Chains A and B, each alone.
With several copies, the nearest count.
Chain A
Amino acid sequence: MKISILAFGKIAEIAGKSQWEEIPVQDTDSLRKKLENDFPALQNMSYRIAINKQIIHCNQPIQSSCEIALLPPFSGG
Chain B
Amino acid sequence: MIKIHPNTVFINGAISPAWIANAIQSHHTQKHTGGHSIFLGQVRMDIIDNKPVEAIEYTTYTEMAIDALQLMCTELEKKYALDAIQVNHSLGIVNAGEICLFVFTSAKHRRAAVDACTELVERIKAELPVWGREIFSDQTHSWKENKN
Contacts and interface: CB of A to CB of B under 8 A. Distances in A.
Contacts of B136: none
Contacts of A10: 131, 143
A72 B58 CA distance: 13
Contacts of B132: 75-76
Contacts of B22: none
Given A8-B129, A8-B131, A75 B145 contact: yes
Interface string A62-77: 0000000101111111
B81 interface: no
Nearest to B89: A76
B127 A74 contact: yes
Interface string A1-43: 0000010111001000000000000000000000000000000
A76 B64 contact: no
B137 interface: no
**Looking at A9, A69, A75, A76, which has the most chain B CB atoms within 10 Å of its CB?**
A76
Contacts of B144: 75
B142 to A, nearest CB: 9
Contacts of A75: 130-132, 143-146
B33 interface: no
Interface in B99-136: 100-101, 121, 124-133
A76 B61 contact: no
A75 B94 CA distance: 14
Interface of A: 6, 8-10, 13, 50, 53, 69, 71-77
Interface of B: 41, 58-61, 63-64, 67, 89, 100-101, 121, 124-133, 143-146
11 contacts: A71-B129, A74-B131, A74-B146, A75-B143, A75-B144, A76-B101, A76-B124, A76-B146, A77-B100, A77-B101, A77-B128
